[in-house]
Structure 1
């Protein structure tokens, strides 16, 4: 079951603190860990831990920090194809601060910035299912066009999604995702209701509008600890409950969800609600354990 993940790989520096610092304040962290990060990379690591054969295409480059990314991915069973191996630029670095008491996090990251990355000379490998996260737009579009089956991680709106969504089988959005077609200006609404202001508790009206705007065969919308909404063309919809757990570390929870969803979809023996339930259980394990990688041992 070969899976292909296309998108961002970063160096994540994760520090755990008793409280977030204020402006111009310094606090001591209880721990610090360094790992590869980024939506596609974290999803790829999750899928590999679940037993899939995983390839990640990203831009890492020749900077010494890139070795941290390569080593971590290799240690977790992910084959990396570097689309920009000669670049002297450092890979993106994310500073992640996790609040020990609640697992909430803040992230400062440049992501891929304006770095232009082309398709590798050898092209894209064959895969049963491809996930793209919208970073490195040229790669995302090429992967979308060539995918047998395409899963899109739509954490936040990116202009490239206009060219990617038409190829998608499943688009997985966060509750914070806002399609431009759903903006107040596009809707002609000068006084829109607050997001989530309906009787479902999970942004039902907003979710339906998002699903209609995305217009993929299947749209999944996550809401943290609240039920996941799903929409399947032409008019099927439903909710999947999320396991109730004590959150210890929420960093990368969405990425874990997407990696597990990719595995479930590629297996082909689960319908969409069952695939969402599987991915939600994996994400629940992620948030139940501190650190970017220690939680993987609890998948077995």
Structure 2
């Protein structure tokens, strides 16, 4: 099976700290990692680690920082197609600070900014499933129109999604996603269950524990989002809370494994990469989500942007 990921690649500088610095304060980090980041790039690395043939189409350019992105992707089995090979500006850089005690993180990033990236001269390669994250809009729309099967990573609303969603088979939203058509219903659809606990508020959980119990129905606000997205299948994640799904008039939730959070950076990207892999292997959405949350739980349970991949011993 071949997966095509289209979207953002960044240079991530990841530092773990004992406490977050205040304004005008300097703290010493406990570790430093540099790796390729960004939703599409992280999803591609995850899918490749799970044994899938993966190509990433993004913008890197010829700035020296781009060599870090190229080397990391190559080391993890991802084929790169650079849609802006002659660009002189540096690729986007993300400064990620991870709180050692809880795994929570803060991120400062410009992402793609206003950078315009055109379709590669040779077009896009064929794939069994395409994942887009909405960054680099021209690439996203071209990929959506040509995809056999389209999975959209909708972490937050982007105007380009108005042109992408009509082509999607599955749209995977984060709990922070707000569709303009559903925004007006926000107060009406709010529910006490919508306030999911933060990882730091929860008791430590053993990584091999059974999935947490969950309610039988999705949150009311999730239903409003799914209706606004209007894709055949909509998935909405909520961190360590159950994942909502909507499909062909049916809906439900998939529980998330209990883990002690060590590093939450890129957990959503890992979920999307694993979901893409699972969708190429099965038409059962709930099973695919179950597989993806297991992979994301492994990501959260290990520190660093890449060390967790060695623990992917899934059937």
TM-score range, shorter chain: over 0.9
CA distance in 1, matches of 2:195, 2:6: 34
* 2:206 aligned partner: none
Consecutive unaligned residues in structure 2, runs of 5 or more: 197-214
TM-score by length of 1: 0.95
Consecutive unaligned residues in structure 1, runs of 5 or more: none
The alpha-carbon deviation at position 182 of structure 1 amounts to 1.2
* 1:41 aligned partner: 41
Instruction: Report the secondary structure of 1:3's partner residue.
Output: strand
* 1:182 aligned partner: 182
How has the CA–CA distance of structure 1 residues 25 and 207 changed in structure 2, closer, same or farther, with 3 Å as cutoff?
Answer: same
Instruction: Report the secondary structure of 1:118's partner residue.
Output: coil
* 1:91 aligned partner: 91
How has the CA–CA distance of structure 1 residues 199 and 163 changed in structure 2, closer, same or farther, with 3 Å as cutoff?
Answer: closer
The alpha-carbon deviation at position 200 of structure 1 amounts to 9.5
> After superposition, what is the alpha-carbon deviation per residue over 1:269-292, rounded to whole angstroms, capped at 9, x for unaligned?
x51000000000000000000000
CA distance in 1, matches of 2:181, 2:192: 19
Verify: 1:245 aligned to 2:259, yes or no: yes
The alpha-carbon deviation at position 197 of structure 1 amounts to 3.0
CA distance in 1, matches of 2:188, 2:45: 39
Instruction: Report the secondary structure of 2:192's partner residue.
Output: coil
> After superposition, what is the alpha-carbon deviation per residue over 1:209-249, rounded to whole angstroms, capped at 9, x for unaligned?
0000000000000000000000002x100100000000000
Verify: 1:262 aligned to 2:276, yes or no: yes
CA distance in 2, matches of 1:176, 1:113: 20
Verify: 1:197 aligned to 2:205, yes or no: no
* 1:211 aligned partner: 226
Within-5 A mapping of 1:56-205:
56-184=56-184, 187=185, 192=187, 195-198=190-193, 204-205=219-220
Verify: 1:294 aligned to 2:307, yes or no: yes
CA distance in 2, matches of 1:51, 1:24: 45
* 1:28 aligned partner: 28
TM-score by length of 2: 0.91
Aligned length: 293
Instruction: Report the secondary structure of 2:265's partner residue.
Output: coil
Partners of 2:129 and 2:276 within 8 A in 1: yes
Provide the alpha-carbon RMSD of the alignment: 1.5
CA distance in 2, matches of 1:25, 1:193: 42
CA distance in 1, matches of 2:190, 2:145: 33
How has the CA–CA distance of structure 1 residues 246 and 266 changed in structure 2, closer, same or farther, with 3 Å as cutoff?
Answer: same
How has the CA–CA distance of structure 1 residues 30 and 196 changed in structure 2, closer, same or farther, with 3 Å as cutoff?
Answer: farther
Instruction: Report the secondary structure of 1:151's partner residue.
Output: strand
CA distance in 1, matches of 2:284, 2:137: 30
CA distance in 2, matches of 1:175, 1:121: 37
Partners of 2:44 and 2:54 within 8 A in 1: yes
> After superposition, what is the alpha-carbon deviation per residue over 1:92-126, rounded to whole angstroms, capped at 9, x for unaligned?
00000000000000000000000000000000000
CA distance in 1, matches of 2:238, 2:61: 35
The alpha-carbon deviation at position 194 of structure 1 amounts to 8.1
* 1:276 aligned partner: 289
> After superposition, what is the alpha-carbon deviation per residue over 1:45-79, rounded to whole angstroms, capped at 9, x for unaligned?
00000000000000000000000000000000000
The alpha-carbon deviation at position 183 of structure 1 amounts to 1.4
